[in-house]
Chains A and B, each alone.
Chain A
Amino acid sequence: MTTAQTAHLPGAPGHEAHGGNGSHDMGEIQAFGFWLYLMSDLIVFSALFATYVVMAHNYAGGPTPKDLFELPAVLVETMLLLTSSAAYGLAMVAMHKGDLRSVRLGLVAAFALGLGFLVMELAEFHHFIGIGAGPDRSGFLSAFFTLVGTHGLHVTFGLLWIVVMLAQLASKGLTAPVKGRLTRLGMFWHFLDIVWIGVFTVVYLLGVVQ
């Protein structure tokens, strides 16, 4: 198997079985393809942000952001997600060194911190719905639950993906295809942190200011 052969076969079935020199080019192609997916996901989020900004003042006599949002809790959520992203970064550094144990440690840390974020978000949603501020209360709350919930759903799938990768690390070790998947999961995880910058600024901070 030569590099040239696999380089001409993007997405060809069975390339995983080789894992030789060619898979490095394959990894680059797949990473770029995954980058394009992330860009399309960013378009989805921008549509949800646009909807939120338009609906943000339609309270229908219901609670406003000032009544609902607890900024200290949101700050903790933000720090959890940010630290999770950094922990994943350290796992990537360990991956390039071939240090399997540190990769596992980084992934487990990223998972635990991400799970903490998700639990806090679900507790917030549960609290809002409990006090009658569910997505059916007003346009503002519909848009809020849709935007923040979509981000939370992405985090949920990211957590599932981390579990899958931990299982693959245990069964396959640090093979070239596993490294490629870890790289793409890293892009996904950092991307979710970037989307969250928009969420905490536009939804939470500006919500409380206005």
Chain B
Amino acid sequence: MSHSPTDNAGAAVGTVKSYALGFAASVVLTLVSFGLVMGGALPRLPLILALFALAVIQLFVQLRYFLHVDRSSAMYWNLMALLFTFFLMFLFIGGSIWIMYGLHERM
């Protein structure tokens, strides 16, 4: 099962342990997200912030343990492409919200 980091650019290999860890963490994060909303214990703003935080953590858990994205040299260009895509998503989604809510305020 041993393999060097350069063995697998863009197609890295996981182990049963890494998939189990990623799966368990994702299940817990999902249950906490749903639990917070269905339980209704938190006020609105902290709840929204908590949901975003949990989603971002789960995003990184799945990138790390399911898609094996890390800072190894083999994954360098995958990581660069991903970071650039995050930047574009920030422009798309952030820009749309900014413009449309600004428009809404003025109408």
Contacts and interface: CB of A to CB of B under 8 A. Distances in A.
Interface residues of A, number: 50
Contacts of A46: 88-89, 92-93
Contacts of A42: 85, 89
Interface string B37-81: 110000010011001101100110011001100000000011001
A50 to B, nearest CB: 4
A28 B51 contact: no
Contact of A54 (B14, B37, B96): B96
Interface stretch (A5-13, A84-92, A126-134, A148-156): A84-92
A31 interface: yes
A28 B34 contact: no
Interface in A41-64: 42-43, 46-47, 49-51, 53-54
A43 B11 contact: no
A201 interface: yes
Contact of A190 (B31, B38, B62, B89): B62
Nearest to B85: A39
A72 B39 CA distance: 12
Contacts of B52: 201
Given A50-B97, A198-B55, A187 B67 contact: yes
A183 interface: yes
B11 A187 contact: yes
Do most interface residues of chain A lie in helix, strand or loop, or is the interface mixed? helix
B16 interface: yes
A96 B100 CA distance: 49
A71 interface: yes
Given A35-B10, A50-B93, A93 B34 contact: no
Interface string A171-210: 0000000001001100100110110011011100110110
Nearest to A33: B10
A92 B96 contact: no
B55 A197 contact: yes
Given A86-B22, A194-B67, 19 more contacts: A43-B85, A46-B92, A49-B93, A74-B34, A79-B27, A79-B30, A85-B23, A86-B23, A89-B14, A89-B19, A93-B19, A187-B67, A194-B59, A197-B59, A200-B33, A201-B52, A202-B55, A205-B37, A206-B48
A61 to B, nearest CB: 18
A103 interface: no
B89 A43 contact: yes
A35 B67 CA distance: 10
Contact of B30 (A78, A96, A202): A78
A22 to B, nearest CB: 15
A142 B87 CA distance: 27
B28 to A, nearest CB: 11
